[in-house]
Structure 1
Amino acid sequence: MRKNLAIFAFALAANLELTSAALFTNPADVPTNKQYQYVVVGAGPGGSVVASRLSEDPHTNVLLLEAGPSDEGVLQIEVPYLALELQPNTTYDWNYTTVPQTGLGGRAIAYTRGHVLGGSSSINIMAWTRSSLDDFNRYAAVSGDDGWSWDAIEPYFKKIEHFVPPVDHHNTSGQIDIQIHGTRGPLNITVNNTPYPMDSHVINTTQELGDEYPFNIDMNSGHPLGIGWAQSATGNGMRSSASSSYIRPVLSRPNLDVLVNTVATKLLRSGHDNVTGVPVFSGVEVAQSSTSPVFAFNATKEVILSAGAVNTPQLLMLSGIGPSSHLSSLGIETVVDHPSVGQNLSDHPGVGNQYSVAAAQDDTDDNLVRNSTLFNELLQEWKDKRLGTMTGNGFNHIGWLRLPTDDPIWKTAQDPSAGPTAAQYEFLFDDGYVAATAPPTGYFITVDTVLVSPTSRGSITLASANPFDSPLIDPAFLNTTLDIYVMRAAIRSAAHFLSAKTWDGFVTGQGGDFANVDLDLDESVDAWARARAMTVWHPTGTAQMGKCNDTGSVVDPDLRVKGTKGLRVVDASVFPYIPASHPQAVVYAFAERAADLIKDGRRYC
């Protein structure tokens, strides 16, 4: 797979410090005479957007904290094709591992999260998917706030987006509906930058088997179901991240300071509110290591947590906000008893299913893995011209699909998706042997099947009261009868997709270890899924949003932490349900609206 390309002729690019005085690498260098109205913890799509938008007011000082290094000058971050070089076991990954997963045969799996300026948007595969209108309308229903509905949020997507033509300047007619996208936002998006041999076969299948796999010209319309051309957060041949879009372009602002390489270790209290009596949080304690000096930064208005679905609940619990029984077991004083903090973890498990192809030229990835000369030539083409294979992220099509309404499973199970426009499973089409180590010979494509409306729920809990100890991560993958049933159906559906006549002479059958799977036997398919399923890096829900009087939720419709003052969460942890999509676009949209709510001083509750 592509993560093994690191063995070829380039070293990790040096992590360069930016020249602007607004970016600091040591907390001791942050100005002590500056009063910050907002301290934002975490520089992913949530925190970067909020920090950027709040600092548009020159009278508002914002400090943005990031645990990882700067993303500036990191080759693997800039080159879309090298995305899988960034994890696991790199400087730019938190390098977490889950607890053993019962649903995966007891396997503990790598759990990648971005540890770099830009957060996970700097290391993900850049898929740009807005999700369905039903997903957003369910957020509105669960929160009681219509401002989270599709109709209310859709304009924010246009505000975020800057559609740019693909670098090969091919005709994009029939690949995207430009009218529904933004053209002046900070974040570049585009369609495929480079063709893959399978492209025409994917599209032809939507004609041959259109009743089951209809073509969708633009899955970002709110109606994503079908097979269509993928959109990505790239532009001009390069990754477009929260850092490159929202932070680095505005580092010249004197009222925006960014501190990297620094971990938030605790939220600091400054007493209790005189009216409500709730604890007031107005600062953040930070350190660069478990043995380094400790610093504190104060916020006169709010501390905003955007550390993600793993680190946000970890920081809340370290600060005494969480399940009292869990906190007391670790000797942490309970400040606010919030039983739901760290609960409701939901993620998308994916399984890579490999198929053999007849011709060597129809397998891009494995040719590059096996041919260092070709790899280096293509990398040099990117460096010189920002053109070619390296401008792509490895897939040009996505499918969003549902089980039939008359499937027998619905006699005993309830549809977990947000509604009829939301997918239950996903296809990703990869041009090579992806998601496992490729055999030394043969040529392949991979259809990744992803469970995008899971019913399994896991948790984030503390391993200790030490902020530098990794939390216990349990996504509870494939832990319900329905989840394994849908994954089984998805794997079979992918095989059916490849049975269309257009694939004759291109695909020769199941490939690699997948060739040993009997698709007619439930037990065989299930064993494959449990042995191969991995995260596709979409944890959500661990500080879920709910109605004002909902005691089971962590934040209110304004994303303020219930039972506190001065504390808000803006990241994927607030999603009450995981969106049936790659969630980065949803996080950007939530953050754009959250910034407006903060500026307006709205109090829904």
Structure 2
Amino acid sequence: MMLIYGSWRLITAAVFTFCFLLDFGATQFAPNYTFMHEATEAPRVSFFDYIVIGGGTAGIPIATTLSANYSVLLLERGGSPYDDANVTNVMNFGRYFFDTSPDSPSVEFIVEGVVNALPRVLGGGTSTNAGFYSRGEEQFNTEAKLTDADLIEDSYQWVENSIVYDLPLDNWQSALKAGLLEAGVTPDNGNTFDHLIGTKEGGSIFDQNGTRHTAADLLQHANPDGLSLFLHANVHKVLFRHKVSSKPKAYGVVFEDRLGKKHVAYLKGRKQDEIILSAGALGSPQLLMLSGIGPKDQLDALNIRVVLEQPFVGQDMADNPLNSLFIPSPIGVSPSIIQVVGITPFGSYIEEAGGFNFIFANLSDYQGFTYEKGGFIFEKVNGPLSKGELKIVTRNPSDLPSLTFNYFSEPEDLAKCVSGLDTILKAVDSEAFSNYKFANMTDQDILDLNMKLPYNLIPHGNTSISLEQHCKDTVRTIWHYHGGCLIGKVVDDDYKVIGVDSLRVIDGSILLNSPGTNPQASLLMLGRYMGVTILGQRLAGEKPYADW
């Protein structure tokens, strides 16, 4: 695969997402979801008990669960993951970043010189991520105000029984696992979904045949008579009734289909009917503001009627900084995505992806080495403490908001990155990993080589002068966006939007920290947990949740 230095699209598609660029055939066979349709087929006016905005990691399990007893409308602005072999097959992983068509499952944008990507496809991030599955730490349950331990466990298992797989390690992965243990990332926790300090193997939403199983597969559990799912449905705003003597009450949504026709879906009007925003950390705060809930100055600037002045919408936005080292290998490395993770006690998570046949522009014979084989070892900072903000710039929901993440603005985040890179180098220098490293290649050689790779659009030198500067110069994203609708500031402990009725936000935007090494397991669980909880609040005393 040719990497052209300075091409930001190839940064994203190649180094940025460790793309294999191999075409492995047909799309996954689409399930017969009789409730799934294009938004062009939606009625102009419709009525439901629940309206869920966003068919992603949290939205799908929420809608699926609620459909057991009530009519649910699920609106997704993207298309089906089953129609795209680049999404469904592991050996095409990352090819969608080359797709600039209106139907692309991923939309690219740049924040502070870092190339980011936003999923626009049914399944959300589970349709575009690297597939690694690992539960969040106990701290997440506390932060997310999840109090029912049995329901947490049942919700995780509901997900895992449907879309999570255990895969064997290849030689590269086994060598890195042993190298991390030599480097002090102990103990060896074996194969587990639990978040434990030490080194472990996790699960994957790719199966043994390399087929991706997204959150959309959970729709197999939906009640087909209770769910209506529309694709390419672009929600413009939530509608509110506003009486002087009471709080604003959400009662419907306006959405647009691919032909530009508007549709209106209303709640049926019963007291417990609700609209649930699950549009993600970027989409949910944006849609709140477009609907009139947010900082007054932003709403006034765009002539949006203020339903509720809420200065905290869009605040505390975060993206976990990621740094990686490409390790050239003297021997072949089998293609692999993330299955091994080192969870350090200082707050850095180390992962891997191997199997590359690169021809690096201007680097094919750097320092006497030929870089045609090897793999990446990644370091993600937990938290993070560094925060930014989201602002809307137009009234068009298709336009991306303005974002800042302020990568490494907090010294503690930078210190974690430095410790993480140092740990990676120790693992690479270990006896266990020695077959996959050139014997006479120094740590400085590795760092200097990686300074020359096009990780981002930040101008910097070609030599690594310190690990601190290396972190800043080579920072990129792991797509774990969160914040913007925080618990206690924008939503209450039940995720109901403070100051209005009949509206909740349930997705990563409510979280101050990204859960675990990779958040998809926690957000899938959260969707199921809250679906069951909402049913329980409405069906109290009828029958236990295990029977729903």
Give the TM-score, by structure 2 length: 0.83
In 1, Cα distance between the equivalents of 2:45 and 2:478? 43
Q: Is the 8 A contact 1:352 1:435 kept in 2?
A: no
Contact residue 172 and residue 334 of structure 2 kept, 8 A = no
CA contact (8 A) 1:349 1:534 kept: yes
Residue 526, structure 1, aligned to residue 447, structure 2 = no
SS in 1 for 2:119: coil
Residues 227 and 41 of structure 1, relative CA distance in 2, 3 Å threshold: same
Shift in Å at residue 118 of structure 1? 0.9
Tell me which residue corresponds to 1:258: 229
Once the two structures are superposed, what CA deviation does each residue of 1:523-571 show, in whole Å capped at 9, x if it has no partner? 432333223211101111211112xxxxxx1111111111111111111
Task: Write the letter of the residue equivalent to 2:501.
Answer: K
Q: Deviations over 1:505-538 (max 9, x none)?
A: 43123567743769xx994323332232111011
CA distance in 1, matches of 2:417, 2:132: 21
Structure 1 length as normaliser, TM-score?
Answer: 0.75
1:134/1:466 Cα in 2 relative to 1: closer, same or farther (>3 Å)? Answer: closer
Cα distance in 2 between the residues matched to 1:199 and 1:87: 25
1:213 to partner: Cα distance: 3.3
The letter for the 1-side match of 2:74 is L
- 1:4-54 deviation digits (Å, cap 9, x = unpaired): 86865678x689987655222134x22468531111110012111111101
| Distance in 1 (alpha carbons) for counterparts of 2:487 and 2:75 | 23
Cα pair 1:205 1:213 within 8 Å, conserved: no
Query: Where does residue 427 of structure 1 map in the other structure?
Result: 350
Contiguous gaps of at least 5 residues in structure 1? 102-106, 163-186, 366-392, 404-423, 547-552
Aligned-CA RMSD value: 3.1
1:80 correspondence with 2:90: yes
How far the C-alpha of 1:80 sits from its partner, in A, is 2.4
Letter in 2 for 1:191: D
Query: Which residue number in structure 2 is paired with residue 116 of structure 1?
Result: 121
The answer to whether the 8 A contact 1:517-1:525 is kept is no
Q: How does 1:360-509 map to 2 (within 5 A)?
A: 361=332, 363-365=333-335, 394-403=337-346, 424-432=347-355, 440=364, 441-442=370-371, 443-508=373-438, 509=441
Q: Distance in 2 between matches of 1:79 and 1:398?
A: 22
Give 3-state SS (helix, strand or coil) of 1:63's partner.
Answer: strand
Q: What is the Cα deviation at residue 434 of structure 1?
A: 10
Q: Which residue of 1 aligns with 2:159?
A: 160
Give, in whole Å, the separation in 2 of the partners of 1:94 and 1:8. 19
**Cα drift, residue 219 of structure 1:** 4.8
1:594 deviation in Å? 1.1
Distance in 1 of aligned mates of 2:22 and 2:174: 31
Q: How much has 1:459 moved relative to structure 2?
A: 1.4
Counterpart residue number, 2:142 = 137
Deviation at 1:349, TM superposition (A): 1.3
Point out the structure with the larger strand share. 2
Q: Secondary structure at the match of 2:204?
A: coil
Name stretches of at least 5 consecutive residues in structure 2 with no aligned partner: 1-13, 365-369, 453-462, 540-548
The answer (yes or no) to whether the contact 2:137–2:516 under 8 Å persists in 1 is yes
State the partner residue of 1:417.
none
SS at 1:45 equivalent: coil
Match of 2:521 among 585, 590, 598: 585
Alignment-derived partner of residue 175 in structure 1: none
Deviates more, 1:197-206 or 1:302-311: 197-206
Residue-by-residue CA offset, 1:399-452 (whole Å, 9 max, x unaligned): 11123xxxxxxxxxxxxxxxxxxxx11111221459996855422222111112
Match of 1:22 in 2: 35
CA-to-partner distance for each residue in 1:450-506, whole Å, 9 max, x for gaps?
112211001111012222221112222122222122111211111012222222343
Distance change in 2, residues 1:516/1:85 (3 Å): closer
Alignment of 1:179-218 (within 5 A): 187-193=162-168, 195-205=169-179, 208-209=182-183, 211-218=184-191
CA contact (8 A) 2:313 2:485 kept: yes
In structure 1, what is the equivalent of residue 57 of structure 2? 45
**Matches of 2:481 and 2:182, distance apart in 1:** 36
Q: Tell me the distance in 1 between the aligned counterparts of 2:27 and 2:166.
A: 30
1:292 paired to 2:215: no
Q: Give distance in 2, aligned partners of 1:602 and 1:350.
A: 42
The structure-2 alpha-carbon separation of the partners of 1:50 and 1:272, relative to structure 1 and needing over 3 Å to count, comes to farther
Map of 2:3 onto structure 1: none
CA contact (8 A) 2:20 2:356 kept: no
SS at match of 1:154: helix
Give the match for residue 494 of structure 2: 558
